[in-house]
Amino acid sequence: MPVTLRFTPADLGRVRFAMSPVWETLGAVRLLSPEEGKGPHVPWLAAIPRDVDLRPLSILLPRRGYTPDFWTPAPLGPATSFAMDLARVRLTSPRRARAEIARALAERRGAATSELGRSLLDGDPAGTLARLCDLIAAAWETMVEPYWPRVKALLDADLAFQSRRLAEGGIDGLFAELHPTLRWHDGVLTRSRGDVEHRDLAGEGLVLMPSVFRWDQVLVIVEEPWQPTVVYPARGLGTLWHSGGGDADRALARLIGRTRAVLLTGLTEPTATTTLAHRYALAAGTVSEHLGVLRDAGLIAGERHRHEVRYRRTGLGEGIVAGKG
């Protein structure tokens, strides 16, 4: 179901870009859950240490449903540091933090009555807030900070690309290809999937925030204290952890071509052409041509899902990908 945002003329001039290191850190923690698809982040997940118990964070990060608002303050801009981000989280009122933690646990079956849930609710609210902030810092240091130059470079590249598109084509040009699940028509931005929700921006403007670790969803945030915000997967994130690989990767690339090898390897779940184009920063026509060759070779197959065709690896494709590992 759609989520819609209606713009006034004033809102068209109040579109800005931002990024949030704390948001990325919590997105990284979320990927530790078995409920989450791993997508292009499998190599990163295999490399990160697992010596910090992050369950007090994970229990508050469900795949769907409410998560506390206090630990993702509205982003200030594209140059916010992790220290600045986390300092704002630490300034949260303990009473507010406890109320939001209670709400998040109540919406997840059995969470509030579990031993972990009770430990978050029964302790001193200020102490719980400090504990969660310390865990966010630990997650940053072990999971994200060592890779932050690479992650930030991708986010910066997305912001530069989208800013150039906005400068050259205006709002129409920006929203035409910001992400495949977004549509722009007659002053209304629509996300084609999710719960039914509508917001008149009424001069508040819109924040656009690319994300690396929220790789498979576009999120529309309209609740205070956030300025209305759209979080979208960063363009090209499918290339983030790809370094050319070992001998088997190079052999596959020689056999079917580098781009086709990357697309075949990256098809960890059924995916549409436009999504693959965004994920690998390629033209949709180029992706379509390569998928056609892979399909004709019997390595992938297309299945219609509503208005789009999603491609998946066949048994032969799975065997080739498994064989190269």
Please indicate, yes or no, whether residues 110 and 14 belong to a single structural domain of this protein: no
What residues contact residue 254 under an 8 Å CB cut-off, 6+ apart? none
User: What's the confidence (pLDDT) of residue 226?
Assistant: 78
Helices vs. strands in the chain: H and E counts, helices first: 14, 11
Closest CA to 230 of 13, 74, 88, 61: 74
Please indicate, yes or no, whether residues 12 and 31 belong to a single structural domain of this protein: no
H or E element at residue 319: helix 315-324
User: What's the confidence (pLDDT) of residue 35?
Assistant: 86
Please indicate, yes or no, whether residues 138 and 176 belong to a single structural domain of this protein: no
Q: ∠ CA 231-51-90 to the nearest 5 degrees?
A: 50
Please indicate, yes or no, whether residues 213 and 260 belong to a single structural domain of this protein: no
Please indicate, yes or no, whether residues 166 and 193 belong to a single structural domain of this protein: yes
- The torsion angles phi and psi of 176, rounded to 5 degrees, stand at -60, -30
Among 236, 259, 274, where does a domain finish? 236
Please indicate, yes or no, whether residues 93 and 192 belong to a single structural domain of this protein: no
Q: CA-CA distances (angstroms) from residue 191 to 2, 136, 185, 273, 299?
A: 5, 30, 12, 18, 31
DSSP assignment of 29-70: HHTTSTTS--GGGHHHHHHS---S--HHHHTT--SSS---ST
pLDDT in tens, 53-65: 999 999 999 888 8
**Structure tokens belonging to residue 67:** 């998560």
Reduced to 3 states (helix: H, G, I; strand: E, B; else coil), residue 187 is coil
User: What's the confidence (pLDDT) of residue 63?
Assistant: 80
pTM of the model: 0.86
User: What's the confidence (pLDDT) of residue 247?
Assistant: 64
Q: Helix-strand-coil percent breakdown of the chain, rounded to 5? A: 50, 15, 35
297 exposed, middle or buried (CB, 10 Å; 0-12, 13-18, 19+)? middle
Among 112, 146, 180, where does a domain finish? 146
Task: Give, rounded to a whole angstrom, the gap between the first and last alpha carbons of the chain.
Answer: 39
The single residue listed with the structure tokens 């071509």 is 257
Amino acid at 181: T
What residues contact residue 47 under an 8 Å CB cut-off, 6+ apart? none
Please indicate, yes or no, whether residues 231 and 297 belong to a single structural domain of this protein: no
Please indicate, yes or no, whether residues 31 and 136 belong to a single structural domain of this protein: yes
Please indicate, yes or no, whether residues 133 and 41 belong to a single structural domain of this protein: yes
Whether a cis peptide bond, with omega within 30° of 0, leads into 62 is no
**Secondary structure in 3-state letters for 142-165:** HHHHHHHHHHHHHHHHHHHHHHHH
User: What's the confidence (pLDDT) of residue 197?
Assistant: 83
Please indicate, yes or no, whether residues 231 and 249 belong to a single structural domain of this protein: no
Structural domains of the chain, count: 3
Among 212, 236, 260, where does a domain finish? 236
What CA–CA distance (Å, rounded) separates 196 from 18? 25
Please indicate, yes or no, whether residues 142 and 40 belong to a single structural domain of this protein: yes
- All residue ranges of the chain with pLDDT < 70 are 1, 194-195, 225, 243-248, 324-325
Half-sphere exposure of 152 (CA within 13 A, CB side): 14
Please indicate, yes or no, whether residues 135 and 164 belong to a single structural domain of this protein: no
Closest CA to 47 of 65, 63, 69, 31: 31
Domain that holds residue 291: 242-324
Amino acid at 140: W
CATH of the domain at 289: 1.10.10.10
Closest CA to 239 of 39, 33, 25: 39
